[in-house]
């Protein structure tokens, strides 16, 4: 069967291909992600190491990513295929970077960024999160020890084999570990997001500000880094705008004063006298004098 042709002019396809190329040319020793097949770029498989200094440290976990057709405007969804003791197997995870919380997703984030955050998020408690599990540390250590032998039927490789290739590729490319979660990325459960929302509303109320219209769903909860090429309202720019407004206002007032002061006072008196004469003549006619 011939491979279907892709619309390479589509912004979504361009973005997916660019991310796939970046993950290939700058491999990480701790995670791997790629389309599951050449015929479907919207389904990816990922493999990642457990976060260091945790009960998942010795584990290697495999999962599935589904990208929406409007990616990156809408977030991807994630699910683990390998038992981890932290997430349910083959069930979509509810995270602020996933499709369950589109309002917190930022198109500037990508698959690598999301996986780095997902890896660090494994250490947190489930707290009733959708797709989350509460298990003992002993159980998680046991599952982590068995995870390397797990083999994906689609990828046809074990987790150990995949990570070994990642290590070798990263060593050749000279790339470093992806251990730091980007500061601009807020990753939380639904409960945490509600607490953050309540805290923001309380702070706004304390400052005398009340949100009377719905927030833009694409607006980040924290100040996002400005896009390149878009002028930002810095302090100097704001002050310059204020000076321009004051200058414009002063000019309008000056024009109004010139217009008012330019009328001689005798013309005003003549007009007043003429009005009095007209009124007197009308009274004379009405009264019959």
Residues belonging to the active site: 94
Distance separating alpha carbons of residues 152 and 282, to the nearest angstrom: 106
| Residue found under tokens 């100097």 | 236
Phi and psi for 176 in degrees, rounded to 5?
-105, 175
What the block records as the tokens of 39 is 């015929």
Distance separating alpha carbons of residues 145 and 262, to the nearest angstrom: 93
- For 222-284, what is the HEC assignment? CCCCCCCCCCCCCHHHHHHHHHHHHHHHHHHHHHHHHHHHCCCHHHHHHHHHHHHHHHHHHHH
Distance separating alpha carbons of residues 194 and 12, to the nearest angstrom: 31
């Amino acid at each position: 069967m011939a491979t279907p042709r892709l619309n390479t002019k589509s912004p979504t396809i361009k973005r997916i291909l660019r991310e796939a190329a970046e993950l290939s040319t700058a491999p990480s020793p701790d995670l791997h992600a790629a389309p599951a097949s050449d015929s479907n770029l919207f389904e990816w498989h990922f493999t990642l190491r457990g976060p260091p200094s945790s009960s998942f440290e010795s584990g290697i976990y495999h999962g599935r990513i589904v990208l929406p057709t409007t990616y990156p405007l809408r977030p991807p969804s994630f699910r683990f295929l390998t038992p981890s003791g932290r997430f349910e197997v083959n069930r979509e995870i509810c995270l602020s970077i996933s499709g369950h919380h589109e309002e917190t997703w930022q198109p500037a984030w990508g698959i690598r960024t999301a996986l780095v955050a997902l890896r660090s998020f494994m250490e947190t408690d489930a707290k009733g999160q959708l797709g989350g599990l509460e298990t003992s540390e002993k159980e998680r250590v046991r599952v982590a020890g068995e995870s390397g032998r797990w083999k994906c039927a689609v990828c046809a490789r074990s987790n150990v084999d995949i990570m070994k290739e990642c290590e070798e590729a990263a060593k050749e490319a000279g790339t470093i570990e992806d251990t730091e979660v980007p500061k601009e990325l807020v990753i939380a459960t639904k409960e945490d997001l509600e607490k953050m929302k309540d805290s923001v509303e309380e702070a706004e109320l304390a400052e005398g500000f009340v949100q009377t219209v719905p927030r833009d769903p694409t607006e980040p909860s924290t100040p996002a880094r400005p896009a390149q090429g878009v002028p930002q309202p810095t302090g100097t720019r704001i002050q310059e705008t204020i000076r321009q407004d004051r200058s414009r206002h002063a000019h309008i007032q000056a024009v109004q004063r010139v217009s008012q002061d330019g009328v001689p006072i005798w013309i005003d008196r003549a007009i007043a006298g003429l009005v009095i004469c007209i009124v007197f003549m009308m009274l004379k006619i009405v009264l019959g004098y």
